[in-house]
Amino acid sequence: MKLSVITLFPEILSGYMQTSIMARAIAAGRIRYDLINLRPFGTGRHRTCDDPPFGGGAGMVLKPEPLAAALDSIKASGKRVVYPTPSGRPFNQQIAQELSREQELVFICGRYEGIDQRIIDTYVDDELSIGDYVLSSGEVASLVIIDAVYRLIDEVISAESLEEESFADGLLEYPQYTRPAEYNGHSVPDVLLSGNHARIADWRHQQRVARTRDRRPDLLAAYYQSKGEQHGRD
């Protein structure tokens, strides 16, 4: 997959792209990326990229011409363009799955009060919100989406890790323990030391259901509905 990110602050993303699993995915040729600095596309002597909103109001809006020039420079028309914004539809694992099947994604990082609506109307396919709170940085929101998406690409991480994790089947994950078996007076649940794989699998499933019921009853209801079971059977 090719990732292109249009941003006023490429340095926010560059460290991430050179670290850990992402760095490995790039070295292995699974991911290519291009960080496009918006500043050189700005207008006038100061390469201005923002302006106050028509109609008044606080803050600044990213101007259309620099964004259009940056998008045209990477031939974004016809590619899947994502704009993270608190006004978008809620991003989730299902959308991450869908985006992970694209050959190429383009991200626009907003700042301040957002970007000119005409850029959204002309170029953007997906306006996505990563949660009901407002970040100062569209770069951080883009990174969240990129992180959730790229790890689903074949061979980036093991299929086994993906199968067992939260949201893969609609339940939260079971608790994990590693050595030592006794830590600070707290011991690991006996069942995990039993070597009985059937009992362990059963215990883990019960933990997932209990956790999901406690923390995300909305997910549990959807889980039972999707399994065609009665709520509360487990």
Show binding-site residues for S-adenosyl-L-methionine: 110, 130-135
Q: Which of 24, 70, 80, 77 is nearest to 47 (CA)?
A: 70
Tell me which of 7, 138, 139, 213 binds ligand ADE, using CB under 6 A.
138
Q: How far is the CB of 86 from ligand ADE (least distance, A)?
A: 4
Q: Is 134 in the site for ligand ADE (CB under 6 A)?
A: yes
Q: Is 42 in the site for ligand ADE (CB under 6 A)?
A: no
* Residue nearer to ligand ADE on the CB measure, 64 or 86: 86
3-state secondary structure of 121: helix
Q: Is 7 in the site for ligand ADE (CB under 6 A)?
A: no
State how far the Cα of 187 lies from the Cα of 36, in Å rounded to an integer.
Answer: 51
Tell me which of 131, 175, 189, 232 binds ligand ADE, using CB under 6 A.
131
Contacts with 193 (C-beta within 8 Å, 6 or more apart), sequence order: 181
Tell me which of 8, 84, 174, 209 binds ligand ADE, using CB under 6 A.
84
- x/- string (CB under 6 A) for ligand ADE, residues 157-196? ----------------------------------------
Token pair 């396919």 is found at 125
Tell me which of 86, 113, 207, 221 binds ligand ADE, using CB under 6 A.
86
For residue 84, give the amino acid letter.
P
- Cβ(95)–Cβ(128) below 8 Å: yes
Tell me which of 61, 115, 124, 130 binds ligand ADE, using CB under 6 A.
130
Q: Is 60 in the site for ligand ADE (CB under 6 A)?
A: no
Q: Which of 169, 164, 148 is nearest to 220 (CA)?
A: 169
Tally of CA atoms within 13 A in the half-sphere of 97 that contains its CB: 8
3-state secondary structure of 15: helix
Q: How far is the CB of 192 from ligand ADE (least distance, A)?
A: 37
Calculate Rg over the CA atoms of the chain.
22
Size of the site for ligand ADE (CB under 6 A): 11
* Residue nearer to ligand ADE on the CB measure, 26 or 140: 140
Q: How far is the CB of 144 from ligand ADE (least distance, A)?
A: 8
Token pair 């893969």 is found at 168
Q: Which of 179, 172, 164, 232 is nearest to 207 (CA)?
A: 172
Residue ranges in contact with ligand ADE by CB under 6 A? 84-86, 129-131, 133-135, 138, 141
